[in-house]
Amino acid sequence: MRTIGLIGGMSVESTVPYYQQINRHVAERLGGLHSAPLLLYSVDFAEIATLQAADDWQQAGAVLANCAQALQRAGAEGLVLCTNTMHKVAPEIEAAVDIPFLHIVDITAAAVCAAGIDNVALLGTRFTMEQAFYRERLQSHGLNVMVPDVADRDCVHRVIFEELCCGRIEPASRQAFVDIVERLAQRGAQAVILGCTEIGLMLSAQDSPLPLFDTTALHARAAAEFVLADRLSTCTG
């Protein structure tokens, strides 16, 4: 199996499911006591959040690029950035290493397109919903992307940072998210991308009036497939 490097901690709450899901996928495919060889570099999210708020993406990119280099030196053969928002600095990370980087937007867009969906809504932090880096990459795959209105964006952003990143799941906030999804459906959305790795901890397919694409689950599965690629090719070769 190949060793995967995870850049996590943004937040801790959403990094834990990456570790669990990658290992579960490997165990399901190989059976027995198999698990994934992986390396985790977990950052102090408070430092990253401060840089986000200060609009200092250059320094944030430098921090994560250094993490990526450390993982490569430690033996990682591929990289996963366990957060949606910080894919804004994905180019800086990719430029810092010479191992594959599994981009969360490309993986998610492939799943949405495979489902035959054209019009998709995006939920995430204010940075993800309002800045161009995420939406334009989705659009490059032929998707039409919409986001909630200003008040709903404020609500989503607040819940992510004040509740979900702190491990709090509030029923009132879950209902607020369901209401937001219903309004997006009325505007023509066929499905919703959970473009923040914490949202899937609160909002499930059973709650939502629209199909959900959980970026954490999709990204973790892709990471597991990367880990298994050489093992499975050997078995079938």
Could you give the residue numbers annotated as active site?
83, 196
Q: Name the token pair of 90.
A: 């994905």
Q: How far is CA 182 from CA 3, 176, 178, in A?
A: 41, 10, 6
**Please, which residues bridge with residue 146 across strands?**
121
